[in-house]
């Protein structure tokens, strides 16, 4: 009887430890592993999306071989956004919340924006 209770208590403790590790430890590990990569990909994706938008506007304004080539090159650059999305989904799979991802994204912007003009330039779409 005592051995059965001891076994059940041990099993309960192991289940609680596994649950705690999944809920609290896994997101910390994922952030440690992926945060820098995520920041870099987020910044690159933002940059190529802006370039793609500008290239598309240039084609609409004046369709020439050069503007079409620039648009095609910008479209190839969008593969960076695919890598960003895969990394984001992997971090979510590890248990990071949308708020944690947003915080990491803000950190990436703050690390790159040394003054307010640069901060505005990062987010501004010019065409």
Please spell the DSSP secondary structure of 63-91, one letter per residue: --HHHHHHHHHHHHHTHHHHHHHHHHHHH
Domain boundaries, the chain: 27-123
Q: What angle do CA 65, 67, 72 make, to 5 degrees?
A: 90
* pTM, 2 dp: 0.72
Contact 38, 84 (CB under 8 A): yes
pLDDT digits over 3-55, tens only?
888 787 788 777 777 776 677 788 899 999 999 999 999 989 988 999 999 99
pLDDT of residue 12: 76
């Amino acid at each position: 009887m005592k051995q059965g209770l001891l076994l059940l208590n041990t099993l309960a403790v192991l289940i609680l430890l596994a649950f705690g590790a999944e809920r609290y430890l896994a997101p910390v590990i994922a952030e440690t592993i992926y945060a820098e990569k995520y920041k870099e990909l987020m910044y690159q994706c933002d940059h190529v999306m802006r370039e793609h938008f500008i290239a598309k506007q240039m084609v609409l304004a004046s369709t020439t071989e050069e503007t079409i080539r620039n648009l095609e090159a910008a479209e190839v650059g969008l593969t960076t956004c695919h890598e960003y999305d895969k990394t984001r989904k992997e971090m979510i799979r590890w248990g990071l919340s949308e708020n944690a991802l947003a915080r990491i994204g803000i950190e990436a912007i703050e690390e790159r924006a040394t003054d307010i003009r640069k901060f505005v330039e990062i987010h501004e779409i010019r065409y």
